[in-house]
Amino acid sequence: MRSIRIAATQFSPLDRDKKRNLERIDALTAQAAADGAELVCFHECCIPGYTFLENLSREDIESLAEPVPSGSSVAALIEIAKRHNAGVAAGLLELADGEIYNTYVVVDPDQGVIAKHRKIHAFVSEHLACGDEYTVFDWRGCRFGILICYDCNLVENPRMTAMLGAEILLAPHVTGCLPSPMPGRGLVTREVWENREADPVRCRQEFDGPKGRGWLMRWLPARAYDNGLYIVYTNPIGDESGTIKGGGSVILDPFGEVLEECRELGEDVVTATLTPEKREVAPGKFYVQARRPELYQKFVEPNPDLAPDGKPVIWWKKHRQ
C-alpha cells in the first residue's frame, strides 16, 4: 500500500432521476478532486435511488437496470472521472443474464471500469439477485475491497475481504434512521429534517444519536479494527425514497478511529490521506494472521435459515439493518 487521498461524500438522491443524481456526483467529484482526492466514493444505488425499489415490480426495477460496463450510467461515470482526473465509485442496478443486481462500480479516468461488486446479501426487493463472490482489486498501488451495506453487517465478510489482501474497504450504504428493535432506534420525522435550518441542533441530535451515528459507531469501527482495514463508509442524507437518512459518511483508519467525517446537514464531501504506516502496526492485521481455521468447521456448515437464492427466509423482510 502507498499513501492515497480518498473522498467520502453524501447527498440526497432523487428516485428514478439518474440524470440529476449523476449531476450531483459530477459536482461532488469536482469538489473532492480539487482537494486532491484520487478516488471519490458515493453511496449504494446512488444513481437510480434505492429504498423505493421495495414497492416496485420486477418489470419496473428491470427498466432501471443497465448492463455493466456498457450501460449509459457507467459511460457517464467514466466521463466524470476523465473530466476531474479522479477515480469514481458509485452504485447502480445491473442487468446481467436475466438477473438484476445491486452493483457498485469503480471507474478510472483512463481504464474505464476497474472493479464491480454485486451485493452478496441483496436487500429491499425480492427481485434483486445476490452476488456470489468477494471483490478485491488493485489500483494505484493499493488493494481495495468492496462490500455493500448489509454485506458489512456480517463479520465474516470484512474478514474474508481482509484475508484476500484488501487494505482499504469501500462500504457504500443506505442505512440508519429506520425501524429497529434496538432501544432508541427508529425513524427521524420529516418535520425535524425540514426544520433543520431553523433548528439544526434538533436535527443533529437525531442523526448523532442511536438512530444514526450512535448505532453506526457500535460496530463499523470494529470492522476496521478487527481486520486492520481502512474503511470508506458512504451514506445518503435527507429524503431518500420517503425515509430520512442521516448521512454521516466517514473514513476510518485501521484502529477504528475517525479520520474525516461528513457533518453538514446536506451535501458534503470529506477527503483523507490513507497511509501505509498505520496498516503496518494495526492489531487487526495480526489478528487475521493468528487465526486457527482448524477450529472453525461450524462456520462452513450450510445455513438452514437461507432461501435458495441466499437471502434470509424471514428476517430480511422485517429488518432493514
Find cell 466521463 and name the residue. Answer: 79
Could you count the other beta carbons within 10 Å of the beta carbon of residue 286? 10
Contact 253/221 with Cβ under 8 angstroms? Answer: no
Output the CA angle 50-51-52, nearest 5 degrees.
95
Among the ranges given (70-79, 120-129, 259-268), the one the predictor scored with the smallest mean pLDDT: 120-129
Residue 316 clears pLDDT 70, i.e. is over it: no
Contact 21/49 with Cβ under 8 angstroms? Answer: yes
Q: What is the pLDDT of residue 31?
A: 98
Kindly indicate the confidence band of residue 104, based on its pLDDT and cuts at 50, 70 and 90: very high
Residues 87 and 65: their CA atoms lie apart, in Å, by: 22
Q: What is the pLDDT of residue 302?
A: 83
DSSP label at residue 229: -
Closest to 20 (Cα-Cα) out of 171, 237, 28 = 28
Kindly indicate the confidence band of residue 320, based on its pLDDT and cuts at 50, 70 and 90: very low
Could you count the other beta carbons within 10 Å of the beta carbon of residue 308? 6
Residues 216 and 36: their CA atoms lie apart, in Å, by: 27
Query: Quick one: average pLDDT of 60-65?
Result: 98
Query: Quick one: average pLDDT of 250-265?
Result: 98
Q: What is the pLDDT of residue 241?
A: 87
Q: Do strands 39-41 and 4-10 pair parallel, antiparallel, or not at all (unpaired)? A: parallel
Q: What is the pLDDT of residue 307?
A: 64
Output the CA angle 148-52-266, nearest 5 degrees.
70
Closest to 18 (Cα-Cα) out of 75, 95, 85, 57 = 75
Residues 208 and 24: their CA atoms lie apart, in Å, by: 25
Query: Quick one: average pLDDT of 158-178?
Result: 97
Q: What is the pLDDT of residue 308?
A: 60
Q: What is the pLDDT of residue 312?
A: 59
Residue 315 clears pLDDT 50, i.e. is over it: no
Task: Say which CATH class 4-318 falls into.
Answer: alpha beta
Q: What is the pLDDT of residue 180?
A: 87
Query: Quick one: average pLDDT of 248-255?
Result: 98
Query: Quick one: average pLDDT of 143-161?
Result: 97
Buried b (16+ CB within 10 A) or exposed e, 264-274: ebebbbbbbeb
Residues of the chain with pLDDT > 70, as a percent, come to 95
Contact 94/67 with Cβ under 8 angstroms? Answer: yes
pTM: 0.95
What number of helices (H) and strands (E) belong to the chain?
Answer: 11, 14
Find cell 485501521 and name the residue. Answer: 254
- Three-state DSSP at 79 gives helix
Query: Quick one: average pLDDT of 77-105?
Result: 98
Contact 66/93 with Cβ under 8 angstroms? Answer: yes
Kindly indicate the confidence band of residue 242, based on its pLDDT and cuts at 50, 70 and 90: confident
Query: Quick one: average pLDDT of 148-172?
Result: 97
Output the CA angle 130-28-135, nearest 5 degrees.
25
Residues 167 and 288: their CA atoms lie apart, in Å, by: 12
Q: What is the pLDDT of residue 123?
A: 84
Q: What is the pLDDT of residue 299?
A: 87
Residue 72 clears pLDDT 80, i.e. is over it: yes
Domain boundaries along the sequence of the chain: 4-318
Residue 259 clears pLDDT 50, i.e. is over it: yes
What is the largest distance, in Å, between two alpha-carbon atoms of the chain?
Answer: 59
C-alpha cell at 243: 425515509
C-alpha cell at 237: 442524507
pLDDT in tens, 25-60: 999 999 999 999 999 999 999 999 999 999 999 999
pLDDT in tens, 260-296: 999 999 999 999 999 999 999 999 999 999 999 999 9
The neighbouring-strand residues paired with 172 are 234
Could you count the other beta carbons within 10 Å of the beta carbon of residue 79? 15
Kindly indicate the confidence band of residue 319, based on its pLDDT and cuts at 50, 70 and 90: very low
